[in-house]
Amino acid sequence: MLELEDYNLLIPGFQTQNQVLREYRKFYSDEKIKRIGGVTVFEIEVIK
């Protein structure tokens, strides 16, 4: 699980949560997005 701030660092140019979530939803389903303690977290697969 990555926190939203980490995800912003991974993808330059995505500054707001809505932009990140919009891009994320192009590739992943909504059930992978969770709110934990006021922080939006979502699962991504890291391909090495």
The residues that bridge with 34 in the sheet, in sequence order, are: 41
Band of pLDDT at residue 48, cut at 50, 70 and 90: low
Is residue 12's pLDDT more than 60?
A: no
The whole-chain average pLDDT of the chain stands at 63
What 3-state DSSP class applies to 44? Answer: coil
Whether the CA torsion 40, 17, 27, 1 is positive or negative: it is negative
Chain Cα centroid distance, residue 47 = 16
Compute the C-alpha angle 43/9/48, nearest 5°. Answer: 55
- What are the pLDDT digits (tens) for 37-47? 666 666 666 66
Query: Could you tell me which residue, 6 or 30, shows the higher pLDDT?
Result: 30
